[in-house]
């Protein structure tokens, strides 16, 4: 069985996350650092950006632009991942989840850059 292409799984990941941001924004609001202002606005804007990026990745004519957009989004999410360490209960499971999420941005950014470069 052939694995899905990088642009396909990135589009599915971002499309699903974007839809969830718009349908259930409350589950993401706590991740927005309070220094950034209104959490709902950030969650809805990031959901729209994820959906737009997924659409760019899905179309061959805009796929490389979608790769650049995805790399930018994943980098832009780093402050939220860092804020998680301030916001989660200081218990083993929540801290483990927060600890795993942050370094996952590295391979996601790398995959997005491969798409952006046409590889």
Domain count, the chain: 1
Whether residue 11 contacts residue 66, with contact meaning beta carbons closer than 8 Å, is answered with yes
Q: Percentage of the chain surpassing pLDDT 90?
A: 66
The residue range of the domain holding 79 is: 6-116
Q: Is residue 26 part of a domain?
A: yes
Q: Is residue 37 part of a domain?
A: yes
Distances in Å between the Cα of 21 and the Cα atoms of 7, 13, 44, 74, 89 are 21, 12, 6, 15, 23
Q: Is residue 69 part of a domain?
A: yes
Interval 19-36: pLDDT, tens: 999 999 999 998 899 999
Rounded distance between C-alpha atoms, residue 35 and residue 9, angstroms? 32
Rounded distance between C-alpha atoms, residue 33 and residue 64, angstroms? 30
Per-residue pLDDT, 81: 87
* Predicted TM-score (pTM) above 0.85: yes
Q: Is residue 33 part of a domain?
A: yes
Interval 45-75: pLDDT, tens: 999 999 999 999 999 999 999 999 999 999 9
| Average pLDDT over the chain, rounded to an integer | 93
More confident position, 78 or 71: 71
Q: Is residue 56 part of a domain?
A: yes
DSSP class per residue in 75-116: HHTHHHHHHHHHHS-SSHHHHHHHHHHHHHHHHHHHHHHHHH
Provide the residue count of the chain.
119
């Amino acid at each position: 069985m052939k694995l899905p292409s990088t642009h396909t799984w990135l589009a599915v990941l971002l499309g699903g996350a974007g839809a969830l941001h718009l349908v259930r924004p409350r589950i993401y609001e706590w991740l927005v650092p309070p220094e950034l202002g209104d959490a709902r606005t950030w969650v809805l804007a990031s959901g729209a950006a994820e959906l737009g990026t997924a659409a760019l990745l899905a179309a061959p004519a805009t796929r490389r632009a979608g790769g650049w957009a995805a790399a930018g989004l994943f980098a832009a999410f780093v402050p939220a991942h860092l804020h998680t360490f301030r916001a989660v209960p200081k218990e083993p499971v929540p801290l483990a989840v927060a600890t795993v999420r942050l370094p996952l941005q590295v391979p996601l950014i790398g995959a997005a850059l491969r798409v952006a470069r046409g590889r």
